[in-house]
Amino acid sequence: MKKNSTFVAIVIVMSFVVGFVIWQFILGNPSNFADPLTREKPLKDSILGLMYVGGFLVPVLLGLSLMVFSFIGERFLSLSKAKGKKDLTELLPQIEKLLNEGNLDAVTKLCNEQKGTVANIIRAGISRFKEVQNNPTMSAEQKTDEVKKTLEEVTMLETPLLEANLVILSTIASISTMVGLLGTVLGMIRSFRALGEGGAGASATALSVGISEALWNTALGIGGAIIAIVFYNFFTNKVDKFTYLIDEASLNLLETIKIRFLGRTSA
């Protein structure tokens, strides 16, 4: 968890730094403006210039968007690693077949080759069962309870790794929308202030800057929020499927141990 906290901190800092660099040197490139020194009047059809005059909240929104893409990439890599080498829908039937044959060593070997969350949990359960299997001081029920306890403990360690950083995506979705709305309000304030100061003859540039600030902040805020929400739901669904497969694999292992190795039947 400490490693993940360090990663999160680095992503947050770097995202805002890169967001500011993009805003200042790419969007704010003097070639995008009719007045390169003031950079207040974008060239006609210069989208980058229009985005730049959106104001100081634009780099914040860019930073939030970069954070979204960073954590999306991290989640894809982490869940791919958690899945292991083979598809779990293919792995679990193989494990079940070997368990029914009583070949625990083959299951352990398969889990070592597979790696990933489910394989780690199954391997830990089998390892614990081998430790207590021939213990004459323990009853069959106690041996089963030991395996169950091990499975639960390892599951509790592995599951948070599947859910890591998902709360950050949901938080960014909310923050991005709020920051975008704040930018919209500030942009409209600037526009109305220009109207108040200039009346009917208000500067077209002043009005366009305020409106641009409002619209681009809205667009960036809502766009970042949409992406974060979509992928938050996507990853949440994948974690739910992982959790189901973990429960199924653990239950199959316990039932096989009870019936095949300890000669007990389910109540």
Whether residue 2 has pLDDT greater than 90: no
With cut-offs at 50, 70 and 90, classify the pLDDT of residue 190.
confident
Residue 202 lies in a domain: yes
With cut-offs at 50, 70 and 90, classify the pLDDT of residue 266.
very low
Q: What are the structure tokens assigned to 148, written together?
A: 């169950």
Q: What are the structure tokens assigned to 205, written together?
A: 């540039």
Whether residue 16 has pLDDT greater than 90: yes
In this prediction the pTM is 0.86
Given this model, what pLDDT does residue 237 score?
95
> Contact 61/179 with Cβ under 8 angstroms?
yes
How far is it, in rounded angstroms, from Cα 5 to Cα 7?
Answer: 5
Residue 27 lies in a domain: yes
- The pairs formed by 203-209 with CB atoms below 8 angstroms and a separation of 24 or more are 205/40, 205/41, 208/53, 209/40, 209/53
How far is it, in rounded angstroms, from Cα 30 to Cα 43?
Answer: 10
> Contact 165/11 with Cβ under 8 angstroms?
no
Quote the number of domains for the chain: 1
Residue 266 lies in a domain: no
Handedness of CA 12, 13, 16, 22 (dihedral sign): negative
> Contact 51/217 with Cβ under 8 angstroms?
no
Residue 81 has a CB neighbour count (10 Å cut-off) of: 12
Tens digits of residue pLDDT in 198-245: 655 556 666 666 777 788 889 999 999 999 999 999 999 999 998 998
The distance from CA 110 to its chain's CA centroid, rounded to whole angstroms, is 29
Given this model, what pLDDT does residue 258 score?
84
Residue 67 lies in a domain: yes
Given this model, what pLDDT does residue 89 score?
83
Residue 135 has a CB neighbour count (10 Å cut-off) of: 11
Distances (CA, A) of 187 to 46, 81, 224, 244: 19, 45, 19, 48
Tens digits of residue pLDDT in 19-65: 999 999 999 999 999 888 888 788 877 889 888 988 889 999 999 99
Residue 49 lies in a domain: yes
Q: What are the structure tokens assigned to 51, written together?
A: 């985005």
Given this model, what pLDDT does residue 202 score?
53
Report the percent of the chain where pLDDT is more than 90: 50
DSSP state at residue 259? I
Residue 177 lies in a domain: no
Residue 52 lies in a domain: yes
Residue 234 lies in a domain: no
**53 lies in which domain range?**
2-81+184-224
How far is it, in rounded angstroms, from Cα 144 to Cα 252?
Answer: 12
